[in-house]
Structure 1
């Protein structure tokens, strides 16, 4: 019983105490295992833990590790200070430590950027374009002071145009459109393509030699710009380097363009693809990759509009179609941007306000410059023969397969075919058989999508229809509504020059085929060991480039420019230079670039009726009628060039006595100078008075006309000059 009582006591007393002890200390052994586990966990959570310091009093980090079974991490070692105290010698091992490299300064960074610009892709393209342009236009720069490409007609006149614009903008800009030629017709500079964009070059140098050198340099640079512009456009569209190079050469040296080597305004088309490339890059658009919002660049877009304005300032024969293309692009942009804004809210804004402002101001600047230049052209007005000229110059469909005489490859083989054309110089429109083949391959084998190829094919058909002029349904729904109502002075009367756009679209298709061939060649090379293309595979990718380059090989003549007569540098009064004709007047305009004295001579499509009347009225000079006519026109000086009058009606004009005519004559080394407002000098050689028949009317010439004389004088036979062709319209020399 005692035991039991003790047990009871333990159970009652010690049990209570044990119960209390369990609440405060150890776990009762009588509890189940899972309950003991939960009780120990709760006690461990309630236990307060002292935070372990991580840094010393000086702020240095403490290195410590956690050892299994220990209540707290064990601190191993306090790290050494990062800086030695001032009174301690320098650590010798510091010499072996890695030193912090000092970044380059602003000057070094600027030099790096400057030097890297010389090896950029487009810098290399520029170098290559200059070299290729010099080689493909050779021998233009062999004698740049003394020869002109193709002939002595339009190149001489256009060299004068550049010289005049540069000269007058420096001396008297208000009189820009009142040229020294065609005296005294108003707005005598508003005809054809003014090449006003080249005026800054015309400010350098003076005289015919400088004008000839300037023209030849610009001629080569224009070809280089064709290469650069076409390469940049096709590259921006998404083609590779090889495909872009093939497209650039095919565009710049297409055989049909060789027939235009005498027209700097037509050769100067490189600004068109260059402006399109800049605009596409500025808007982040690529034909292969579509619109990429992160690739937008306002600077490139602004440059694109400025280049477009410069291209329009060169002339309207290419500028007006280019304005139409820019207008179509703006219409597409106005339709596409709102649709994308509605369909893809996450990509808003689509263009951004900066790009919108650029796209608003850019077209206004382009159109404004074009309108300012066009004002004097509309004052001059057109002729009633504008539509008939368009019909005359409209080429047949077969002309797309006929090469020009200036092509070294196709000139001789296509001679018979060219003879069937009414005007071969403007109707030999072959863009190249190699280009045709590559473009045809590009319709089935290309990096462009099927939809893109179909759109390119549709655009190609449209440009061909426009290039045919009135030979496609009489042009009633194509060329005439677009250009037939414009003044003839705007020089849009030759539809064949729209082959520029046909060639560009063919080049894009060809680039797609070449780029796909290169892509597959690279993929094939990746399967080899080592994984790079062999020499034969590399060579195969350049075969299209070589073929296109060879097909653009020229046989252009480079006739020698006749020396300027000394009298053209001394006489400053309004004068007429004899002989006068369409061809000789263009050379006389070039000779006048020393003094820019007013001259009644002029050719190139401006005031053709007035110039024809002038030549008829002075055919008998010197006589009373011609002298009175010249005085009524304000011309008081006549310069007769002895070396160029044989075979013309003025062959004996330098030997006829003039005392009875009330004028004076001065014999110079290479010319005879007649002064119509100065009385004759009796001391002059040959000043004797001839017998006068009193029965002759006042306006009858004192001597009968010479047998066999002609009223259409031309230069003596010079290499490269073009003789007058029979059965051609009277305006042919203005546009060959």
Structure 2
């Protein structure tokens, strides 16, 4: 067994090297693109070689300076450190560690699927098919930038260990399953939740009603021990993301990164054979499985004969199936009506008896009815009673695919189902913080690879050998890349000596990942950043730098000298170099053909913005233009709601009535999560009677947003001084122009 498994492992390594070629001979290059791969390289370098996990230094990774807790903005990748860190330390090149780990994800995933399939079938030929189906699935090519998503090999190992524990009741296998679950959670945070859901289905199918209490206690103790190891990391993420920053994923963002049902017919444009299969263009929806795995599923279904005739006593179940079939036809017809003709109503007199405005509700009922009809089939019922592995993995594949469609599934970007399973999962703590439900598809692929193995296992003789050969070729052809792109690594650009921070310009989604990577060779805290979440001050910082506002350089240099590195190619007219060179005391240290570096001295007179102070005053009323009905949302104490003046292409205003003349020290707008929605220019007028107005403050507000986000990132207060007596009315007018809304989530007025 071990010798054969070793031989297969060597084969999978060889296939992985060929699949990712020429990465194996260009290990200091960047696979696919210069975005997320550079970020994950930086995370592996930091987590594995620069800090002890769970320490304050580890959490406070040196990007997005001066923000804290930056590592929690993305995955920590501790589960990949054992592979990447030794290579990084030996070679001194973080990309070598990251790229070897990337290649290993393909080989290890294939090997893990092999182990699961062999556990289910006890045949290496069936396991080989499963290994290729999972390790080199077409979906993996779409996820090459996301090494954590590719690192899914612990999922089949966890399932294999559970099957072995179910068969032998040896505690060692229970511990192995819990360890695999823990390592998968440490490798990819998504799979902590996705795998846990799959395990819940597994226990319901294979363990409930069959295992003794002692066996359940044993597995529970092992998983609880694994969870205790994971708990400090989860607590750290919750404390930083929720407690410090108040980060959360919006429903609309989660929906954008949910797969579309038509994604089954959307392949990666980088595939060798199937790149032309693309019915829609949507993020994370390249779910095309290839035709070979579909053919293997068909073989499994044909061999299982779910519609085969079985003698039944009485006609009860036959009548139930007939009734369900009729209901299914009616529901499909009801779903087709709004698609073909629009909204439809059945009324008698003035009484509405039936209304069908959308197809998703009748389609949801049709799906439930179809599943009930399938469950009523005699052979399906027999498979359920026998706790069939094939039935489980087929059902689990379907359920996890439904979850990949997110909370409101769509077909060709139109609503397809109502109250989908992922919507229920979002009620479970943690699921509502996951940005990309579509990655559930990787769990589906684990299940489909098991189905492929079970399909082969149902064959015998020459037919089995022929299917194995054809399937192996087909699976590799389905998932093989047209070319595996490897870019040169960003050049190193050392900072000047004795600086407290480093800024690379221009700030952009192209420059920032390269700046983050360059920090692995230049360990100065970095003002730039690139991650799953962006620091709340970052948009204001970019706004100030785009405007060439000299104040922000003074602010950044307030605590010591800073380095500024300028990329020549991205701003060939030299405007940024002139801006930096004009800073008082700036010294150009290096002037290379493609970049320049400057050292800016410590700024003794850096500008600052006051923090909120004074007693909040009662606001008697607030009137706004436009969107007057939203005014109350700016006073409801909820930072998730607010008044919006619309996109800053026209004047908008909000007028406060304090009810009586009072001393006003400050006006404070709390942006909360609306980090982009500060007014480009704001004028604050005051009045004692509502007729005669005086300008109390006017100017741009980006610097206010920067300071508010750095000091209080959860509230992000914009603090404007007034310091006037006898003020009853305060009018805020947006007078600038920008590309984002002006929003007031919370508004308050401070006195003494």
Length-normalised TM-score, structure 1: 0.64
For residue 458 of structure 1, the aligned residue among 382, 388, 395 is: 395
**Length, aligned pairs only:** 520
1:93-112 paired onto structure 2 within 5 Å: none
Three-state SS of the structure 2 residue aligned to 1:596 is coil
> In the superposition, relative to structure 1, how do residues 183 and 192 fare at CA in structure 2: closer, same or farther (>3 Å)?
same
Residue 405 (1) aligns with residue 278 (2): no
Question: Alpha-carbon deviation of 1:212?
Answer: 0.8
Distance 1:565 1:205 in 2: 16
Partner of 2:98: 215
Deviation sequence 1:245-267 (CA, Å, 0-9, x none): 11110111111221111110110
Partner of 1:129: 12
Partner of 1:499: 441
> In the superposition, relative to structure 1, how do residues 207 and 699 fare at CA in structure 2: closer, same or farther (>3 Å)?
farther
For residue 433 of structure 1, the aligned residue among 281, 291, 307 is: 291
Deviation sequence 1:126-168 (CA, Å, 0-9, x none): 22221121122222212111x2221110000000000000123
Distance 2:563 2:103 in 1: 37
Is 2:138–2:289's contact at 8 Å kept on the other side of the alignment? yes
Partner of 2:601: 676
For residue 394 of structure 1, the aligned residue among 220, 236, 258 is: 258
> In the superposition, relative to structure 1, how do residues 601 and 282 fare at CA in structure 2: closer, same or farther (>3 Å)?
same
Question: Alpha-carbon deviation of 1:361?
Answer: 2.8
Is 1:243–1:510's contact at 8 Å kept on the other side of the alignment? yes
Which stretch has the larger CA shift, 172-181 or 322-331? 322-331
> In the superposition, relative to structure 1, how do residues 233 and 481 fare at CA in structure 2: closer, same or farther (>3 Å)?
same
Is 1:192–1:604's contact at 8 Å kept on the other side of the alignment? yes
Deviation sequence 1:481-529 (CA, Å, 0-9, x none): 3137766995x22122111122222222222222222x2438xxxxxxx
Question: Alpha-carbon deviation of 1:665?
Answer: 3.9
Partner of 1:586: 513
Distance 1:158 1:642 in 2: 23
Partner of 1:611: 538
Three-state SS of the structure 1 residue aligned to 2:208 is helix
Which stretch has the larger CA shift, 541-550 or 204-213? 204-213
Three-state SS of the structure 2 residue aligned to 1:227 is helix
Partner of 1:280: 163
Question: Alpha-carbon deviation of 1:474?
Answer: 6.0
For residue 468 of structure 1, the aligned residue among 377, 384, 405 is: 405
For residue 317 of structure 1, the aligned residue among 187, 190, 205 is: 190
Is 1:149–1:559's contact at 8 Å kept on the other side of the alignment? yes
Three-state SS of the structure 1 residue aligned to 2:494 is helix
Distance 2:54 2:260 in 1: 46
For residue 372 of structure 1, the aligned residue among 232, 235, 239 is: 232
Is 1:239–1:512's contact at 8 Å kept on the other side of the alignment? no
Three-state SS of the structure 2 residue aligned to 1:318 is helix
Three-state SS of the structure 1 residue aligned to 2:565 is strand
Deviation sequence 1:330-388 (CA, Å, 0-9, x none): 556763346xx5xxxxxxxx86xxx6664233211332233322223222135465211
Residue 443 (1) aligns with residue 301 (2): yes
Residue 625 (1) aligns with residue 574 (2): no
Distance 1:458 1:481 in 2: 18
Is 1:227–1:248's contact at 8 Å kept on the other side of the alignment? yes
Partner of 1:189: 71
Is 1:567–1:671's contact at 8 Å kept on the other side of the alignment? no
> In the superposition, relative to structure 1, how do residues 171 and 274 fare at CA in structure 2: closer, same or farther (>3 Å)?
closer
Three-state SS of the structure 1 residue aligned to 2:267 is coil
Length-normalised TM-score, structure 2: 0.63
Partner of 2:562: 637
Partner of 2:667: none
Structure 1 stretches of at least 4 aligned residues deviating more than 6 Å after TM superposition:
none
Partner of 2:322: none
User: Unmatched 5+ residue regions in structure 1?
Assistant: 1-116, 285-294, 342-349, 523-536, 680-697, 701-726, 730-736
Is 1:442–1:511's contact at 8 Å kept on the other side of the alignment? no
Residue 306 (1) aligns with residue 179 (2): yes
Higher CA-based Rg:
1
Residue 653 (1) aligns with residue 594 (2): no
Partner of 1:25: none
Question: Alpha-carbon deviation of 1:229?
Answer: 0.8
Partner of 1:564: 491
Question: Alpha-carbon deviation of 1:173?
Answer: 3.9
Distance 1:488 1:297 in 2: 33
> In the superposition, relative to structure 1, how do residues 485 and 275 fare at CA in structure 2: closer, same or farther (>3 Å)?
closer
Distance 1:337 1:436 in 2: 32
> In the superposition, relative to structure 1, how do residues 500 and 571 fare at CA in structure 2: closer, same or farther (>3 Å)?
farther
**RMSD over aligned Cα atoms:** 3.5
Partner of 1:102: none
Is 1:130–1:224's contact at 8 Å kept on the other side of the alignment? yes
Distance 1:666 1:446 in 2: 73
Distance 2:507 2:179 in 1: 41
Three-state SS of the structure 2 residue aligned to 1:600 is coil
Partner of 2:151: 268
Question: Alpha-carbon deviation of 1:188?
Answer: 0.4
For residue 46 of structure 2, the aligned residue among 164, 169, 189 is: 164
User: Unmatched 5+ residue regions in structure 2?
Assistant: 307-378, 411-415, 605-697, 701-738, 742-752
Is 1:582–1:604's contact at 8 Å kept on the other side of the alignment? no
Distance 1:614 1:573 in 2: 18
Residue 666 (1) aligns with residue 589 (2): yes
Question: Alpha-carbon deviation of 1:427?
Answer: 0.8
> In the superposition, relative to structure 1, how do residues 188 and 635 fare at CA in structure 2: closer, same or farther (>3 Å)?
farther
> In the superposition, relative to structure 1, how do residues 260 and 541 fare at CA in structure 2: closer, same or farther (>3 Å)?
closer
Question: Alpha-carbon deviation of 1:564?
Answer: 3.0
Partner of 1:483: 426
Residue 545 (1) aligns with residue 472 (2): yes
Residue 336 (1) aligns with residue 336 (2): no
Distance 1:278 1:569 in 2: 53
- Relative to its length, the structure with more strand (as a share) is 2
Is 2:30–2:489's contact at 8 Å kept on the other side of the alignment? no
Question: Alpha-carbon deviation of 1:323?
Answer: 1.9
Deviation sequence 1:238-290 (CA, Å, 0-9, x none): 25221111111011111122111111011000111012112221332xxxxxx
> In the superposition, relative to structure 1, how do residues 276 and 613 fare at CA in structure 2: closer, same or farther (>3 Å)?
same
Distance 2:291 2:115 in 1: 24
